Amino acid sequence: MFSCIARPAIHLSRSFSTSVQSNARVAVLGASGGIGQPLSLLLKNSPLVSQLSLFDIAHTPGVAADLSHIETRAHVTGHLGPDQLGECLKGCEVVVIPAGVPRKPGMTRDDLFTTNATIVANLADACARHCPEAMICVIANPVNSTIPITSEVLKKHGVYNPNRVFGVTTLDIVRANTFVAELKGLDPARVNVPVIGGHAGKTIIPLISQCTPKVDFPQDQLAALTSRIQEAGTEVVKAKAGAGSATLSMAYAGARFVFSLLDAMNGKEGVVECSFVRSEETECTYFSTPLLLGKNGIEKNLGLGKLSPFEEKLVAEAMSELKGSIKKGEDFVKNMK
């Protein structure tokens, strides 16, 4: 009796490809959490994913069973606890790590360090053992430290490839696009604001001068807009009043980055996303800039581009905090037993 009702097409704009089919095996580590569940849903909806392996320390079989009933081609498996982590990662080409504890009101991303640093280090260790050539996309905060942690763990195993380790900062770009569009009455899907630096507070540097289409703001409005982009995560934490941090928008941003990466791995040309990666573009050893993605990860770092004097000042002011966060991550791995 339902034969006359057409199934709705799943259409998500920007990098949410629905036209190309591939056979990518993708793992989500932390799949039962506030980011992991909606992220896994978005990945399950994509024809770019053929195998979706979900891991967490609780509830994963239920999440996997729920998602497995969705009428898309990706085969879903659920893996519970450390003993099943290796099986989850076996053969995976892309690993996404949203695992960790969320921020609560009054907490900075750095306050999460001790707990999330250990979680990310253990997961990176498992990746090094079971899928050493996978693209690793880290969402777990503080990204400014968890990317150096991931890199140092991979180095210990002799499998580190800087072109395959990404700190997912895409939510900063998504927010910048949205806020600029709101102020200018534009379609946010057609706005692109590069965001460079890091992924916390003043290390988040939106390059409004490089926005497409070109936009102009008075200095006071530009300063307020920049501050809002930098503190947008705190805006959500406060609005949720202790119930968590940005999860739905982060899941969207994480999926956008993964789909861009999969597109590039499939041979699509001209795929560009910003990400926090090993870098020689500034005096910081890790820095987020626009990256041209390719079959093997980073094909070319596109650098900072031409900055306005206001943006140059933001970069200078971010350096000290960014260097400290990077060192904190590297030192954590050095001191691991």
pLDDT score recorded for residue 132: 98
What is the rounded CA–CA span in Å between residue 268 and residue 197? 26
Both structure tokens of 179: 């806020």
Low-confidence residues of the chain, pLDDT below 70?
1-21
In the block, residue with structure tokens 């990746």: 127
Alpha helix (H) ranges present in the chain?
Answer: 36-44, 60-68, 85-89, 113-130, 143-156, 170-184, 219-230, 232-240, 248-265, 309-334
pLDDT number for residue 112? 85
Please give the pLDDT value at position 108. 79
Residue numbers annotated as active site: 199
| 306-317: pLDDT as tens digits | 999 999 999 999
**pLDDT for res 20:** 62
pLDDT at residue 106 in the model: 81
* pLDDT on residue 11: 39
Residue of 71, 37, 41 lying closest to 55 (CA atoms): 37
The confidence score (pLDDT) of residue 14 equals 52
Class of residue 169 by CB neighbours under 10 A (exposed 0-12, middle 13-18, buried 19+): buried
pLDDT for res 191 = 98
Residue type for position 175? R
